[in-house]
Amino acid sequence: MNPSTEPRLIILDRDGVINLDSEAFIKSPDEWVPIPGSLGAIARLKARGWCVAVATNQSGIARGLYDRETLERVHQKMFAAVEQAGGGIDLLEFCPHGPDDGCDCRKPAPGLYRRIAERLGVDLAGVPVIGDSLRDLQAAIAVGAAPMLVLTGKGEQSRANLGRAGGLPVFADLAAAVESLLQNT
């Protein structure tokens, strides 16, 4: 990606950023419910020429809570909802592994972000990464990206664990984070 001719990249977490999170996991398309304002935020990014990628841990597969086909149906619902709002997701990467599998793609490991960089041919230095959990932020820092915390999902708990968010930008939700990004770019 040539920064002068290609769109700017942003990486979003899924659960707790785009859609409501659940301690019991999002196991079906019916359980996938967008956070108010998130779909419009993605549409605003796309309208301004941004490339939108999603990186999501999906250990429910390793835990036997749902299979890859069900996850694909959840993602198809998300893609359709984003498109209906006037936006789009250019790339989605997910980790199907469990916490003890030792993979390099489960956040806080940076493998998902590196996969996005490789597939898009970009350097992640300074790329905004919006997440609600410490692992999202840790993976972003590991690749030199610019982490941003939202208080939806696990965000309030993450902020408490970081103390004043460790100097990272903190926003109420994805819509507020995107508004700030668009005002400053």
Q: Which two tokens stand for residue 180?
A: 């700030």
| Residues identified as active-site | 13, 15
Angle between helices 134-142 and 111-120 (to 10 degrees): 50
Report DSSP state, residue 147: E
Torsions phi, psi of 149, nearest 5?
Answer: -100, 135
Helix (H, G, I), strand (E, B) or coil at 61: coil
* Contacts (Cβ under 8 Å, ≥6 apart) of 185: 8, 48
